[in-house]
Structure 1
Amino acid sequence: MKRRIRHFTPSWFSCTMGTGITSILLHELPYQFKGLKNVANVIFVFNIVLFLAILGMSCARYILYPSLWKAMIFHPSQSLFLGTFSMGFSTIVNMMVLSVSPAFGHRWVILAWVLWWINVVISVAISIGLPIVMFLYQKHTFADISGIWLLPVVSTIVTAASGGIVATILPPSHARLTVYVSYILWGTGFPLAFLLMALYFARLAIHKPPPAAQIVSSFLPLGPCGQGAFALLKLSSVLLDLSRTPDGLGVGSLSIEEGKVAALAIYACTIPVALVIWGLGLFWLVQAVGTIVHLAVKTTLPFNMGWWAFTFPLGVFATSTTALAKELNSPTFRVLGTILSCAVVALWLIVMGLTIWKAWIGTLFVAPCLAEVVPMKAEEEKRGRRGGEVSKV
């Protein structure tokens, strides 16, 4: 158990991302049938338990081995997975809004809003803090660029999308504040994600796709595209609803009627922008599928924690598809969203099954950041030799 705790990396929070988005997709599936929401709620409860278990293991790791925190933060790849903590947390907040608060009342609305604000602080710290660490303390090369570079900056985009969901159940004054903060969060994340996608495109053209062990990370650019489009659609929809309240948008320079016109204009402009972002996501989806199929024909793809990139990026792309279906009243997008959602559920079942099996036999517990610390293996061998000498004596 101590060995597993020592090798327990932040990448494990990607399990909660994939599990959380699966529960959301089932809860919001365009074509519902009896009992489906109950299945979504069961997965949601499982996700909470999973999140707390992973959080407990992570805390135990840094309590028992304090030096590993510094090693992880300064590691050029493992530190980037801190973004998965915030995104996994967002899925729990979203399901609290969609499922728990309508069933159990106002106290859960307040709890969801408080948790969202906590996640705002966490996501901003990760999105802004980790790039500073990258610039000052880590060593990178152009060939090292991969999809995981997107993880820190996407955390604020996911939190912004979560803010749009939370705002739908809040009083107008609280909803306005949440929406305005969410737009700022979107601004801190999506432009940077767009820059990183450009760098990743250049890296693929010059250095070709990543090795088989990292190839599933090709799906990660779907994340900012899916959540970026979904966040804009959700926030503009909430703005439109707020403009019809007695206080309007709460902008002092606009009258109530002018606020309605402004909100309608924002809503109308958001739909084509979301379609453009969705189209960019479609490019990355086709590219990722094509690359993985091409590599799978030539070699075996080893299972690792990176396989969770099959779930959350594709899942948020499915949420943006179903959101477009709703706003456009489009049967085509509705069918596409359902197909993508079913694909995510199937992938989640496969990846979760493999994760449980590999975790049971212990092969998933490997922490690359341990190479940055004083070699513990050598110390253990030394202690073992000393123990052997003592026993001989």
Structure 2
Amino acid sequence: MDYIKNFAPSWFASIMGTGILAISCKLFSEYFSVLLPVSIFLFWFNLFIFFLFLVLWILRWLLFYEKAKDDLFHPIISSFYPTIAVAFLVIAGGYIIILHNTQLAEIFWFLGTLLMIAFAFLIPFIMFSHEKIEISHINPGWYIPPVGLIVIPIAGAFFEPLSTGVYKELITITNFLGYGAGFFLYIALLAIIVYRLILHSPLPGTIAPTLWINLGPIGAGNIALINIISKTSFISVKEPFYIFSLIFWGFGLWWLVMSIIMTIRYIKRAELNYTMSWWAFIFPLGAYTASTYLIGKILHLKIISILGFFIFWLLFFIWCITFFKTFTNIKKIFKG
């Protein structure tokens, strides 16, 4: 029963990370063909683990309601609850990019979107009405709800040209709602989190990997913007948006280098022992990797494409280490 009782909502971050790695493998298989079967294997493996986690997540609410509820109202843990919704959305993207199955993709996208919109209101409401939040609770994990909103149009944009009538309009509005709300919430939280990083003590080593989550809104934001602009029928002038994506990508490159520098600092101080927060390395870096591929492709910038390939291998390397550490520490993790 410990596996159910101690099943943290952050476990779905591993689904997000593995899912974006699978998609990145598919994208970069253009340059290295062996990555294509790897992407397919990772997708199906990830889908199996997703349903296993989904069962555990539901059982935890049924059998250990109070503990699940306490996590929902925790100023740090609560931000990880939307990872289940993002996992649905990432799998939808995998069905589109890897398997070219828009029917199943739409089901996962629809469920993920409903969950994400619900969490997008629930988590901020809990934060706004919470009476015991302190500056020490502020961390980049707070980006997860905005990231989830931004991820909605990544797959959602593909359904806009395939739809008609009111349903088409609903998809379009949902895509712009996700991007608009997520992007501006990210901007607001960016100021708060940078304030905390400058004026408060450094993040403890247990959540230090969340520094990489800064890449999530940037990487996912660029992919979402490019997909919306490319797929939305009434947008005819696209170039200015692509230029903005390049500017946004540049900000991400700064965050990537800064994240690496800060991570090295934690390693040198022996403060980076394994925890589940290591999965915070993966999805943000994967989203930035995929966005680098898309920007290099659309703007025909070979240097960015080459850089994206190197970032991809960094992503693959960190995923392998994190997966191995997670697998070898499963019993320890679930003992609580």
TM-score (norm 1): 0.81
What CA deviation, in whole Å up to 9, does each residue of 1:335-386 have, x standing for no partner?
A: 1111111111111111111101100xx211265xxxxxxxxxxxxxxxxxxx
Structure 1 residue 111: deviation in Å?
2.9
Q: Which residue of 2 aligns with 1:365?
A: 334
1:166 Cα shift?
Answer: 4.4
| Structure 1 residue 143 displacement after superposition | 2.6
2:3 aligned with 1:4, yes or no? yes
Aligned match of 2:316 in 345, 358, 361? Answer: 345
Aligned to 2:188: 195
Which shows bigger deviation, 188-197 or 268-277? 268-277
Q: Which of 323, 326, 331 matches 1:355? A: 326
Task: Please say if 1:80 is aligned against 2:79.
Answer: yes
Give ranges in structure 1 of 5+ residues lacking alignment.
102-107, 243-248, 250-262, 368-393
Whole-angstrom distance in 1 between the partners of 2:200 and 2:217: 23
AA paired with 1:204?
L
The answer to which of 31-40 and 123-132 deviates more is 31-40
The alpha-carbon deviation at position 6 of structure 1 amounts to: 0.8
Specify the SS of the correspondent of 2:334.
coil
Q: Which amino acid aligns with 1:364?
A: I
CA gap 1:32/1:25 in 2 versus in 1, 3 angstroms: same
Cα distance in 1 for residues equivalent to 2:143 and 2:327: 26
Equivalent pair of 1:315/1:341 in contact (CA under 8 Å): yes
Q: Distance in 2 between matches of 1:221 and 1:300?
A: 20
1:273 paired to 2:239:
no
Aligned CA-pair RMSD: 1.8
Determine if the alignment matches structure 1 residue 235 to structure 2 residue 228: yes
Quick check: 1:76–1:138 contact (8 Å CA) kept in 2? no
Q: Deviation of residue 192 (structure 1)?
A: 0.5
Q: Relative to 1, partners in 2 of residues 1:204 and 1:300: Cα closer, same or farther, differing over 3 Å? A: closer
Query: Sequence identity of aligned pairs in percent?
Result: 28
Counterpart of 1:382 in structure 2 is: none
1:284 aligns with 2:255: yes
Distance in 1, matches of 2:249 and 2:201, equals 25
- Counterpart mapping for 1:53-64 below 5 A: 53-64=52-63
Instruction: Give yes or no for contact 1:8–1:366 (8 Å, CA) kept in 2.
Output: no
Partners of 2:109 and 2:311 in 1: how far apart? 27
2: CA distance, partners of 1:78 / 1:342: 30
SS at match of 2:186: helix
Q: How does 1:124-163 map to 2 (within 5 A)?
A: 124-137=117-130, 139-163=132-156
Amino acid at match of 1:365: F
- Structure 2 partner of 1:67: 66
Residue in 2 that maps onto 1:96: 95
Instruction: Measure, in 2, the Cα distance between the counterparts of 1:270 and 1:71.
Output: 42
Which residue, 103, 115, 118 being the options, matches 2:111?
118
CA distance in 1, matches of 2:61, 2:174: 32
Task: Note if 1:206 corresponds to 2:207.
Answer: no
Compared with structure 1, are the counterparts of its residues 192 and 161 closer, same or farther at alpha carbon in structure 2 (3 Å cutoff)? Answer: same
Please give the per-residue CA displacement for 1:292-351, whole angstroms capped at 9, x wherever unaligned.
112211224110010011110000001111110111011111111111111111111111
Distance (whole Å) between structure 1 residues aligned to residue 177 and residue 299 of structure 2: 26
Instruction: String of CA shifts for 1:204-254, please: whole Å, max 9, x gaps.
Output: 111142011111111011100111111111111113xx3xxxxxx3xxxxx
Supply the distance in 2 between the matched residues of 1:331 and 1:175 (Cα, whole angstroms).
36
In structure 2, the CA distance between the partners of 1:167 and 1:323, relative to structure 1 (3 Å rule), is: farther
Give the equivalent residue in structure 2 for 1:381. Answer: none
**Structure 2 length-normalised TM:** 0.94
Give 1:374's aligned residue.
none
Contact 1:221 1:313 in 2 (8 A): yes
Tell me what 1:387 maps to. Answer: none
Partner residue in 2 for 1:218: 211
Q: 2:273 aligns with which of 299, 302, 305?
A: 302
Comparing 320-329 and 113-122, the one that deviates more? 113-122
Is the CA contact 2:2–2:335 (under 8 Å) kept in the aligned structure 1?
no
Give the Cα–Cα distance (whole angstroms) in 1 for the partners of residues 75 and 87 of structure 2: 21
Rounded to whole Å, the distance in 1 between the matches of 2:194 and 2:148 is 21
* 1:19-73: CA deviation from partner (whole Å, max 9, x where unpaired): 1011000011164334421211110000001111111111222222222232121
Larger radius of gyration: 1
Instruction: Report the Cα distance in structure 2 between the residues aligned to 1:23 and 1:96, rounded to whole angstroms.
Output: 11
Residue 186 of structure 1 pairs with residue 157 of structure 2: no
In the TM superposition, residue 133 of structure 1 has moved relative to its aligned partner by 1.0
C-alpha contact 1:31 1:338 (8 A) present in aligned 2? no
Partner of 1:335: 306
**In structure 2, C-alpha distance between the alignment counterparts of 1:177 and 1:237, rounded to whole Å:** 18
Q: Is the 8 A contact 2:212 2:281 kept in 1?
A: yes
Q: What is the match of residue 18 of structure 2? A: 19
**CA pair 136-4 structure 1, distance change in 2 beyond 3 A:** same
Q: Is contact 2:91-2:108 (8 Å) kept?
A: no
**Of 72-81 and 26-35, the range deviating more from structure 2:** 26-35
Tell me, in whole angstroms, the C-alpha distance in 2 between the residues paired with 1:328 and 1:336.
14
Residues 40-55 of structure 1 mapped to structure 2, 5 A cutoff: 40-55=39-54
> How far apart are the structure 1 equivalents of 2:114 and 2:252?
27
What CA distance in whole angstroms lies between the structure 2 residues aligned with 1:321 and 1:92? 20
Deviation at 1:178, TM superposition (A): 2.8
1:264 aligns with 2:233: no
